[in-house]
Amino acid sequence: MSADILDWTNAGLGDLDTAAYRARAAEMADRLKTEVGAGRLPFLGLGYWPKLDKDLGAMAGWLTGFEHMLLLGIGGSALGARALQKAFFPAQDQPGHNGPWLWIADNVDARSIEACMAKLPPEKTVVVVVSKSGGTIETVGQYFIVRNWLKARLGASWKDHALFVTDQKIGFLRREAASLGIRTLAVPDNLGGRYSVLSAVGLAPALFMGLDPARLVKGAAEVAGPLASAGLDAEALSGHPAFGLAIWAAALMDRGFDELIFFSYLPLWACFGDWFAQLWAESLGKQGKGSQPIPAVGVTDQHSVNQMFLDGRRNKACLFLTCPSLPAGPRFPEDLADEFAYVRGRDLGDLLQAEALGTRMALTTSGVPLVEVRLDRDGQEAAGKLMALLGAATILTGWLMDINPLDQPAVELGKRLAKARMGAAGLEREKADLEAFLSAQRQEQGF
């Protein structure tokens, strides 16, 4: 048995109707084989890795020669890199760090981007623009501004301070790279943002931070390999943890569990919760269906949202991430007041594990169906495994829900309206709709 465990003891499977979903194993296995075979699920097949490994190797000296990386991207083009950064590169958030530094700009916030341009030394900075489509306005908009800053400060050599991670053939960034001679790394076809962390999207920043992309991919391959195997059949899929999670999640939704907590008791892995939230929400929030992901981090959120988890609406399930082998850390002194006698001589890590157990049991006692995802080690392979497991579980959950987990059509409306508001050509319907929206009788109140 793998040393990384899904513990189903408190998942509430006995109260869920899973039979109909379990019976779809053969259909799901066939579908996986078809989709992987057609190259439509590259994050499982990982067929792009050998070339990417070479491309990253060729670029490593140049990339790691910079002190600062300013990553411009949004959604799936930023969240995976941030999760890896916070988990494996915590030094940047701690006193005394002396580089390198990764800065992720995933918003259109004037103050933040101005601060980057005012404080970062351009001669020691590489700007990495990450966009699969190559045309996301929040990302390329930041690029237009940062490009001018680089040009103004570095002259013609600015192009040696830029890297685009984008589609291999199409999109504005691809054209811009070709016309300006800017370095690129390709995002493979059919690899949408939220499934792309283990492509150049997350691995270029990972390499910059000193991580080993091969270890992350190796972990992912352990989980994804069996799902991408030509020999996959109903039996093999039925025993795969990703399918187990998908069945559990789909059956929970049928029973009205429409919120899914991702509770990380690896404090440094808190941003995996944000990464997972985007993966789950954008993939499964379709046609009035889905469950709302709620990222939470132990122990911090025990003193925040946990009251709602425990005694609010009984609509929550939980993925509970633990790692019993986390460092023990500093020891509590012996000379503590009697009211704290129970921690005398114990380690800080003991307290974390005790609180994880306490919260896990409290959630279970409160009727929150919970699967513990227990990692043997909090290393890079484990991160790759976890990301592949959750990606695969998301795809399979979407298929069991009979929705498409790979698109995100609903978010297009807001984008079109914003473009219309900015005066983009065409979009007459959106412009008229905006007029109507803005001319509604206001019901406003000062505060």
CA distances from 447 to 182, 440, 441, 442, 444 (A): 50, 21, 19, 16, 10
Of residues 197 and 237, the one with the C-beta less far from ligand PA5: 197
Stretch that binds ligand PA5, among 15-23, 74-82, 261-269, 373-381 (CB under 6 A): 74-82
Q: Which residues contact 199 (CB under 8 A, 6 or more apart)?
A: 42, 43, 48, 52, 187, 188, 191
**Rounded distance between C-alpha atoms, residue 208 and residue 15, angstroms:** 47
| Phi, psi for 134 (deg, rounded to 5) | 75, 10
Distance CA 398, CA 285 (A): 9
Specify whether 412 is catalytic: no
Question: Which residue, 25 or 81, is less far from ligand PA5 as judged by CB?
Answer: 81
CA atoms 381, 383, 385, 387: torsion sign:
negative
Catalytic residue among 138, 176, 259, 282: 282
In whole angstroms, how close is the CB of 390 to ligand PA5 at the nearest point? 13
Q: Please, what's the largest Cα pairwise distance for the chain? A: 73
Residues 101-160 that bind ligand PA5 (CB under 6 A): 131-133, 136, 139
Note whether 74 binds ligand PA5 by CB under 6 A. Answer: yes
Name the catalytic one among 51, 97, 169, 415: 415
> Does residue 123 have an active-site annotation?
no
State which residue, 120 or 165, has the beta carbon closest to ligand PA5.
Answer: 165
282 binds ligand PA5 (CB under 6 A): yes
Q: Regarding beta strands 162-167 and 183-187, do their DSSP bridges make them parallel or antiparallel, or are they unpaired?
A: parallel
Q: How many chain residues touch ligand PA5 (CB under 6 A)? A: 13
328 Cβ partners below 8 Å, 6+ apart? 347, 348, 349, 350
Residue 31-70 contact track with ligand PA5, rule CB under 6 A, x = bound:
----------------------------------------
Shortest Cβ distance from residue 387 to ligand PA5 (Å)? Answer: 13
Q: Give φ, ψ of 293 to 5 degrees.
A: -75, 140
Q: Which CB sits closer to ligand PA5, 192 or 384?
A: 192
CB of 411 to ligand PA5, least distance (A): 7
- Residue 276 CB, shortest distance to ligand PA5, in Å, is 12
By CB under 6 A, the residues from 174 to 213 that bind ligand PA5 are 192-194
Cβ-proximal residue to ligand PA5, closest one: 193
Within a 13 Å sphere around the CA of 314, how many CA atoms are in the beta-carbon half? 6
Which residues lie across from 261 on neighbouring strands?
A: 294, 318
Which residue among the candidates 303, 339, 428, 444 is catalytic per the annotation? 303
Q: Are strands 370-374 and 5-7 parallel, antiparallel or unpaired?
A: antiparallel
Contacting residues for 368 by C-beta, under 8 A, at least 6 apart: 261, 309, 310, 316, 317, 318
Task: Using CB under 6 A, pick the residue from 42, 45, 75, 391 that binds ligand PA5.
Answer: 75
- Clarify whether 138 is annotated catalytic: no
Catalytic residues: 282, 303, 415
Question: Contact residues for ligand PA5 (CB under 6 A)?
Answer: 74-77, 131-133, 136, 139, 192-194, 282
